[in-house]
Amino acid sequence: MVLTERQRRDLHAGIHEYLLSQSDEAFHRAAEALAAADPVACKGNSTATKGSSTGSKATTTTTLLEKKWTAVSRLQKKVMEMEKLVAQSAKIHAHRPGVGGGKMLPHPPAVHTMNGHRGSIACVEVHPVFTVVVSGGEDGTVKVWDHESGQFMRTLRGHTNAVHSVSFTPDGSYLASSSSDLSIKLWDFSTYACVRTLRGHDHTVSSVKFIDNQNIVSASRDATVKFWEFDTGFCVHTNNDHIEWVRCLACKQDASLVASSGNDTWINVCQTTGERKSICQLRGHQHVVESLSFVVHSQSSPPGQRNPVESVNDYLVSGSRDRSVRLWSISAANCLSTFNFHENWVRSVILHPSGMYILSSSDDRSIRVIDIKVRKHMQYFVQVLNNAFS
């Protein structure tokens, strides 16, 4: 390594200062030799720290060279920690499908296990910008985690009963949570303060979603779907198309449609503006529908490849207690495919951004990645659950 003239002088000055701080005469002779070789660099160092005789005590003053040496050790430790994080990140992103625009799919083993709730966890949502995930549970709390490090960050308290749903605004600046205490709470995610509480449902609020940064939709056990204004907190419309408990919601990416379903087994799709009219009802499930999902971020197919879903944004996926996962076309108002790979209730479904896969989780303790085109599940994850929650 080639040092500049200034760096060389600083190094010589630091060595000279360190040698003078030692009590052994051999160090002092070395310091004198260095000063003779480079008097300019060593000129500024005082000889006051030089020991006057054999057996004199060394100074307790920390020299510049010692400070830099300890700083190097700290930097080396930080570099090693960062290399470990990079390796973990590379492991997370290493598994990618051969098609579908290079979007990653999950694969075992789990990178982190995050414990902290004192009861069942009912909902999880990933922040759209930061490496943050929030969870809500039966203990009435919303917990915030860093999903890259797996570290707990903080707990949001305010609900007096179980939290069933959480949702971020598209820009991630606010969080909404719904609960069995009949309320919806809005949280400023920069200060983690509750800025507003929405009340109007007559029973458990099962699901809440931000349609966009200014509009919210909620579903309840009172068989209604309500639309709210963020700024005022007013309910601007109530949809009464369902006849039983509405358990789940999904919002289309362009904020034009909302899908809802629950105990009455059909899926109602309605507009988010104007009179919020129902445009279709999708029927086919034989039991309670637990989860709905539009694609979160769509993309075009890679050159030379045909996406099995020609228009990804037109599709909706649902999961039900009848153990099936269904793929629906909104424009045609019919079921395109039914997947029966699970052995118990299907609790959650996600339509992959590429439009080529469905990710589903079930009470059979599995997460399945379903290839829509070949109608087979690609991966099968089984996790043995603990008898008690942490």
At 334-362, the pLDDT tens digits run 999 999 999 999 999 998 887 888 999 99
Q: Where does the pLDDT of residue 383 fall: very low under 50, low under 70, confident under 90, or very high at 90 and above?
A: very low
155-193 pLDDT, tens digit per residue, is 999 999 999 999 999 999 999 999 999 999 999 999 999
Is the pLDDT at 145 greater than 90, yes or no?
yes
Q: What is the mean pLDDT of residues 315-326?
A: 96
| Better-scored residue on pLDDT, 105 or 197 | 197
What pLDDT was estimated at residue 97?
A: 41
Q: What homologous superfamily is domain 121-382 in, according to CATH?
A: YVTN repeat-like/Quinoprotein amine dehydrogenase (2.130.10.10)
243-253 pLDDT, tens digit per residue, is 999 999 999 98
Whole-angstrom CA distances from 367 to 283, 341, 363, 378 are 25, 10, 10, 11
Domain boundaries, the chain: 121-382
Q: Rounded mean pLDDT of the chain?
A: 83
Eight-state DSSP code of residue 312: G
| Better-scored residue on pLDDT, 108 or 380 | 108
What pLDDT was estimated at residue 51?
A: 44
Q: Where does the pLDDT of residue 259 fall: very low under 50, low under 70, confident under 90, or very high at 90 and above?
A: very high
Whether the upstream peptide bond of residue 109 has omega within 30° of 0, thus cis, is yes
DSSP annotation string for 20-61 = HHSSSHHHHHHHHHHHHH-HHHHTT--STTS-SSTTPPPP-P
Q: Where does the pLDDT of residue 25 fall: very low under 50, low under 70, confident under 90, or very high at 90 and above?
A: confident
pTM beyond 0.75: the answer is no
Distance, CA of 367 to CA of 379 (rounded, Å):
8
Could you give the strand order of the β-sheet that contains 315-320, starting from the edge strand earlier in sequence? 289-294, 315-320, 325-329, 334-339
CB-based burial, 57-87: b 16+ in 10 Å, e otherwise: eeeeeebebeeeeeeeeeeeeeeeeeeeeee
> For residues 104 and 96, is the Cβ–Cβ distance under 8 A?
yes
Is the pLDDT at 98 greater than 70, yes or no?
no
Is the pLDDT at 125 greater than 90, yes or no?
yes
23 CB-near residues (< 8 Å, 6+ apart): 51, 55, 56, 57, 58
